[in-house]
Structure 1
Amino acid sequence: MKFEESQNLSKFIRKKIELAFGKFFICDHFVVAELNHEIHVDWLIIQKIAHMIIDQYGTSRKIGFISNKVNSYSIDPYVWITFSQEYDFIEAAAIVWYTDAGFMSATLEKMFLKSSVKLCESLEEAVHWISNPEEFRS
């Protein structure tokens, strides 16, 4: 399910940002990313996402990140190692998967992320988890 199509979840959206490679929904304490079909996420795209998030929240604020995998795309998992060394604003991440391939990709990404990560079967589950920091800080 796409984030802005969910009547229960669209109330969280403060701002929608469309970039060439995907849509980003800026909420009070988290970002939801929906990347385009069949793109390859490399370090350049990760940097653009990071700078867009910093522009929205500043450099000192910790936020949650939800990757809503509504489309099929590839990602170089090693970019997360460099990301963790360069940036420190993601407190927790939720990855929503819809297919077996999406689950396998999410499982691989989780291995490379420094922050607390939860694999979710629904967008509602991801928003609930990311909205309750006591769940991922324990």
Structure 2
Amino acid sequence: MTFEEYKNITKFSHKKIQLPFGKFFICEDFVVAELNHEIHVDWLIIQKIANMIIEQYGTAKKIGFISNKVNSYSIDPFVWVTFSKEYDFIEAAAIVWYTDAGFMSATLEKMFLKNSVKLCESIEEAVHWVLNSKNIRN
């Protein structure tokens, strides 16, 4: 289910940002990322995402990040090691998976993230989890 199909989307004021590699929904306390089908996420794309998020929230606010894997794509898991050294604005992350391949990819990504990460089976579960993380909503 995409974020736009989420039945409780109206509870969250949000702005949709379309980038060449995916859609991003900027909510008050979290971001939902829906990356395009069959792209490969490398450090350059991660930097573009991070810069867009910083532009929206600044550098002081701690936010939640939801990767809503509605499409199949690949990611270099080592980018998360560098990301963790460069950026410090994500307090909690959730990865929503819909297929077995998505679950395996999410499990691999989770191993490289230093933040609190939860693998979720629905967008509802992911939103609930990031909003209940201890430092979200500064």
Please classify the TM superposition score into its range, dividing by the shorter chain length.
over 0.9
Aligned AA (1:71):
N
RCO comparison, higher one (Cα < 8 Å, 6+): 2
Aligned AA (1:96):
V
Is 1:41 matched with 2:10?
no
Deviations 1:24-71 (A, max 9, x none): 000010000000000000000000000000000001111000000000
Structure 2 equivalent of residue 73 of structure 1: 73
* In structure 2, distance between residues paired with 1:17 and 1:135: 25
Aligned AA (1:76):
D
* In structure 2, distance between residues paired with 1:14 and 1:126: 16
In the alignment, structure 2 segments of 5+ residues that lack a partner are none
Aligned AA (2:106):
A
Structure 2 equivalent of residue 88 of structure 1: 88
The alignment partner of 1:25 has SS state of strand
Aligned AA (1:47):
Q
Structure 1 equivalent of residue 56 of structure 2: 56
Structure 2 equivalent of residue 129 of structure 1: 129
The alignment partner of 2:93 has SS state of strand
1:125 CA displacement: 0.3
Return structure 1 stretches of 4+ with deviation > 3 angstroms: none
Number of residue pairs matched by the alignment:
136
* In structure 1, distance between residues paired with 2:73 and 2:13: 24
Structure 2 equivalent of residue 105 of structure 1: 105
Tell me, yes or no, if the aligned pair for 1:107 and 1:119 is still in contact at 8 Å. Answer: yes
Distance 1:13 1:22, change over 3 A: farther
* In structure 2, distance between residues paired with 1:22 and 1:66: 13
**TM-score of the pair, normalised by structure 1:** 0.95
Distance 1:117 1:43, change over 3 A: same
* In structure 2, distance between residues paired with 1:5 and 1:11: 13
Structure 2 equivalent of residue 20 of structure 1: 20
Aligned AA (2:63):
I
1:10 CA displacement: 4.2
Deviations 1:58-116 (A, max 9, x none): 01111000000000000000000000000000000000000000000000000000100
* In structure 2, distance between residues paired with 1:58 and 1:72: 30
The two structures, once aligned, show a CA RMSD in angstroms of 1.4
